[in-house]
Amino acid sequence: MSNGEHDNGWETFDFDEWGVDGSGGMARNGHPTEDRETTAATARQPEGQWISQGGVLHWEIPGDEDESRRDLRSEAASVWAKDEVDLPPGVPDDARIRAARAWLARQRQFESEELGTLLLERRESGADEDATPEGEGPFDLALAEHQAAIETYERTLEALADLAAHAGPSRVLVEFYLWLNERLAMLAAMPEAPAQFAARLLLIPVEDEENTPAAPKDVPTPRSTAQWQGCAEALLRARRRVEHVSAPEPED
């Protein structure tokens, strides 16, 4: 620090390199690989950078890129999708939204891979021949749970994209967090929900004409319970992700 100015390194920090995964000739841990020059033109996507104007830092994204249209497969493989993503101090709302979106895409990918693994294991074990007509064997229930999680992550991605298209960046994650809580409240009102599920999550009880004791036809089945668990776990994990990327910065 000199002449009252802070040298925090943001004017020289290369967010283009930080935001790209370490594969395909790209920089890894801040150090370029040998074929960086030959692959950068096709492998890189501009991540944005800090620009200093009048001593004030602004985040700018080169060109007219619409971040909501980024390919979800590449986003799932980027550093933005890491569980312990390290968001720099002062990172703008757009970057926080991207960290939530990329993580959701990666979780959907993980669930799809697990579903494929289970299908292969069931076929190799001959469990297909032993499957019950109701589809409630061990493999069937595991598949139902993962399929429900996949569909839930798809819905969360759609909801986040819709909010990003209609709300300002500063409101997107707030509105998304509320949306997730609404979905969890709905799950809490279902007959598959364990006792005290809503209370443990500090959710607002659902009070309407549908929030009544389950009728005999609403008694949970093993399959509906597995689907409920897949959906609930995905929503809870998504909510924790929003909390992580939205966490207030530590005070100096």
Averaged pLDDT, groups of 10, the chain, 252 residues long: 45 46 39 36 41 47 48 91 87 94 97 92 75 73 95 97 94 97 93 84 54 61 95 96 86 55
So what's the pLDDT on residue 42? 33
Q: How many CB atoms lie within 10 A of CB 198?
A: 18
The reply to whether 119 and 232 lie within a common domain is: yes
The reply to whether 32 and 77 lie within a common domain is: no
CA proximity to 205, closest of 191, 184, 185: 185
The reply to whether 87 and 175 lie within a common domain is: yes
Q: Which two tokens stand for residue 241?
A: 């992700």
Residues in CB range of 212: below 8 A, 6 or more apart: none
The reply to whether 16 and 119 lie within a common domain is: no
Residues in CB range of 161: below 8 A, 6 or more apart: 68, 101
How many structural domains does the chain have? 2
Is the residue at 157 inside a domain? Answer: yes
- Report the distance separating Cα 230 and Cα 111, nearest Å: 10
So what's the pLDDT on residue 200? 73
Q: Which of 65, 90, 111 is the last residue of a domain?
A: 65
Q: Which of 48, 65, 82 is the last residue of a domain?
A: 65
Indicate if the alpha-carbon torsion angle 232, 235, 240, 243 is positive or negative: negative
Is the residue at 193 inside a domain? Answer: yes
The reply to whether 151 and 46 lie within a common domain is: no
DSSP 208: S
The reply to whether 13 and 115 lie within a common domain is: no
Is the residue at 227 inside a domain? Answer: yes
The reply to whether 22 and 118 lie within a common domain is: no
Prediction pTM value: 0.68
Residue 2: φ, ψ to 5°: -150, 145
The reply to whether 56 and 70 lie within a common domain is: no
Is the residue at 252 inside a domain? Answer: no
So what's the pLDDT on residue 223? 94
- Report the distance separating Cα 155 and Cα 178, nearest Å: 14
The reply to whether 102 and 139 lie within a common domain is: yes
Residue 134: φ, ψ to 5°: -80, -10
Q: Are 49 and 57 in contact (CB under 8 A)?
A: no
Is the residue at 250 inside a domain? Answer: no
- Report the distance separating Cα 185 and Cα 250, nearest Å: 31
The reply to whether 52 and 158 lie within a common domain is: no
So what's the pLDDT on residue 20? 45
Q: Which of 17, 43, 65 is the last residue of a domain?
A: 65
- Report the distance separating Cα 199 and Cα 109, nearest Å: 31
The reply to whether 58 and 70 lie within a common domain is: no
CA proximity to 60, closest of 9, 5, 15: 15
Is the residue at 75 inside a domain? Answer: yes
Q: How many CB atoms lie within 10 A of CB 171?
A: 13
The reply to whether 97 and 157 lie within a common domain is: yes
Instruction: Find the domain containing 14 and state its range.
Output: 1-65
